[in-house]
Structure 1
Amino acid sequence: MVQQVFYFLFNNIELNFITQVLLYWLIGSISFYAIGFFIEKFIKSKDNLTKKLTARVKQVKKQSFPAFTLKGIITGEIKNLIAASIILYLAPEVHRDNNLLLNFGWFLMRIVAADFCFYVVHRLFHTKSFLKIHLKHHDFQDTSSFVAGHKSLMEYIIVTITDVLPIFIFGYDITQICAWTLIGNIYNLEGHSSLSIFFIPSDFHDLHHTGFKGNYGIHGFWDRVFNTLNPLTKKVGIMFPVSLIEYKIMKFFSRIDKYNSFDNDDYESKT
C-alpha cells in the first residue's frame, strides 16, 4: 500500500539518476528522524501508551542517548547520500507494473533475501574476528530508537553493501525502493525503542540487545531456520491488526510444539 502511494505521486514524473538519488535519500532521512522523534517525544511521553506498548521483559539501567550535534547530523547525511548514490548506481533499474499482487511478491522476496543477507553479516559481527566493528552499536541496552543509526563507519559500509545485494538481485523500481526504505525505518526504529507499536515484534531485536546473542535477522525467519531465535514475549500491538494475527500464529505453533513434546515424552515412557 505504501508503494501504491509513491506510485501515484511519481509515476507520471520523469526522474533522472540524480533526482532518484535525492528522492531516495530524502525519504530515508526525513522518515528516519520523523519516526524516531514521534516514538521518543510523543509515544514515550504518554505513560499510558508506554505502559501498554512496552515489550521489554528484562529491565536494564536507563541510558540517555547522546545529544544530536550539527556535526553528527551533517556527517550522517553525507554518508546516507553517498550510500544512496552507490546503491542506485550499482543496482539495475526495473520498471514494474503497478500490480498490488506483484508488488507484494516483490516485497516478500525482498524481505526474505534482505533478511538472509543481514542475518549472515550480523551473525559474523558477533564472532570474535568481527566483534570490534559491531561493539559501538551495543553501547546501549536500554535503547533509544535512534540507536538504530549508532554504528561504526566500518559497520555502516558493510551494512550498505549488504543492502545492495538483494536490490542487485531483484533490481529496483524507485517507488518500491522508497516504500522499502520507509518501512525499513519503521521496523529499525521501533525495534530499538523497546516498544511494541506497529506490526513488527519489537522485542525481537530488544532481546538481542539485552542478551547479546541470538535474533540476528530482521524478522526472525532465518533465526528459526538456523535455531538462533530467542523466544519472543511481545504484547499484542494496538495500532495494526497484523500484530494480532502474528500473535495467533505464534500461539498456534507453540501449541503444536507442546503437543509434539507431550507425544514424544509419552512414547518414551511407554518404550
Structure 2
Amino acid sequence: MQRFFNCCFELEFYLKIAISCAMVQQVFYLLLEKIELNFITQVVLYWLIGSISFYAIGIFIEKFIKSNDVLRDKLTVRVKKVKKQEFPAFTIKGIIAGEIKAFMSVSIILYLAPEVHRGNSLLLNLGWFWMRIVAADFCFYVVHRLFHTKSFLKIHLKHHEFQDTSSFVAGHKSLLEYIIVTITDVLPILIFGYDITQVCAWTLIGNIYNLEGHSSLSIFFIPSDFHDLHHTGFNGNYGIHGFWDRVFKTLNPLSKKPGIMFPVSLIESNIINPYISAKQATHNKFDD
C-alpha cells in the first residue's frame, strides 16, 4: 500500500507538470497561430518569456509570499532547520551577464533543433509534455549525480554555497554547470525537434517549478522538502523530483505536504496513515 502511494505521489508531480504545460501551450498556440515567426523573432520570444518569467516569479515568491508571515508559515515545507544565510544581491553586471548567457543558449538551441509544428491537439501535447518531464528528470538525475562525484564536484560547488534556499538559488550556477544542465534539459528538443508554442510553455512552467523547488515552499508543484534535503545533506535526492531517486535507491526520507493542491499526500495523511496506525494498534493489542 505504501509503495503504491509513493508511486502515485511521484507520478502526480509529472502529471501536474504535463497538464499545466499542455494548458499553457494552448494559450500560446492561440496567440501565435496566425503570426509568422522567423528564427530571430522565435529566439527573442523564447528568451523574453524565460527571462521575464524567471524574475517575475522569483520576486513574487520572495517579496510577496515570503514577506507574508501567514503565507510563509502555511506554505513552508522545510522540516530540518538550517542557519539562515544572506543571499547575494542582484547587480546590473550580473543581470546583463546572465541575460547574455541565456540569449546565447536560446539562439544555439533553436538553431540546432529542427522545427516541428505539432498543432494544438491537447492529447498530443499532453503526451509530449509527459514524455518531456520524465526524460528531463532522468537526464537531470544522471548529470546531477555525476556532479556529486569527486571528478565533477568543482563544477557544482557554486550552487551549493547555500544550505538555506531562496528561489533565485535556482540560477546560482557556474557557467559550465549552466551549459551542461541546459544541454540535458533540451536534449529531447534536439532529438525530436521543437514547436515554439511547446518551448514557450515548457520554459514558463519550468521556471515556476524550479523557483518553487528552491524556495523551501510548497505552493503548487512541489509537494515535499525533497530538494531542501539535498541542499541540507549534500547527498541523495538528485532528480527534479523523487521518481528516479526511488528507482536508483538514492532517495532520502522526505516530509510530504498534504493539502488540496496535493491530493495523493492528502489522502495518504488523512485516510491511509490513520488506517495503518489503527490496524497496527489493533494488532499490538491482540499480541499483548
TM-score, normalised via structure 2 length: 0.83
Q: Which stretch of the first structure deviates more once superposed, 35-44 or 219-228? A: 219-228
CA distance in 1, matches of 2:256, 2:164: 16
CA distance in 1, matches of 2:105, 2:133: 20
Matched, 1:166 2:188: yes
Match of 1:88 in 2: 110
Per-residue Cα deviation, 1:95-132 (whole angstroms, up to 9, x for no partner): 01211111110000001111111110000000000001
CA distance in 1, matches of 2:198, 2:34: 15
CA shift for structure 1 position 143: 1.1
CA distance in 1, matches of 2:102, 2:195: 19
Match of 2:48 in 1: 26
Match of 2:262 in 1: 244
1:98 to 120, 123, 126: 120
Per-residue Cα deviation, 1:127-156 (whole angstroms, up to 9, x for no partner): 000001000000011111100000111111
CA shift for structure 1 position 192: 0.6
CA distance in 1, matches of 2:120, 2:207: 23
Matched, 1:77 2:95: no
CA shift for structure 1 position 160: 1.7
Match of 2:84 in 1: 62
- RMSD between superposed Cα atoms in Å: 1.9
CA distance in 2, matches of 1:206, 1:150: 15
8 Å contact kept, 1:93–1:173: yes
CA distance in 2, matches of 1:61, 1:111: 33
Matched, 1:45 2:63: no
CA shift for structure 1 position 211: 1.1
Higher RCO (Cα < 8 Å, 6 or more apart): 2
CA shift for structure 1 position 201: 2.5
8 Å contact kept, 1:192–1:202: no
Match of 1:265 in 2: none
CA shift for structure 1 position 232: 2.4
Q: Which stretch of the first structure deviates more once superposed, 198-207 or 36-45? A: 198-207
Aligned length: 253
Runs of 4+, deviation exceeding 4 Å: 248-252
Matched, 1:5 2:27: yes
CA distance in 2, matches of 1:250, 1:206: 22
Per-residue Cα deviation, 1:177-218 (whole angstroms, up to 9, x for no partner): 100011110111011100111122252211111111111111
8 Å contact kept, 2:258–2:269: no
CA distance in 1, matches of 2:265, 2:199: 28
CA distance in 2, matches of 1:173, 1:231: 38
SS of 2:87's partner is: coil
Matched, 1:157 2:175: no
TM-score, normalised via structure 1 length: 0.88
SS of 1:45's partner is: coil
How high is the sequence identity, in percent, across the aligned residues?
81
Matched, 1:177 2:204: no
> Quick one: structure 1 residues 250 and 116, their matched pair in 2 at CA, closer, same or farther if it must change by over 3 Å?
farther
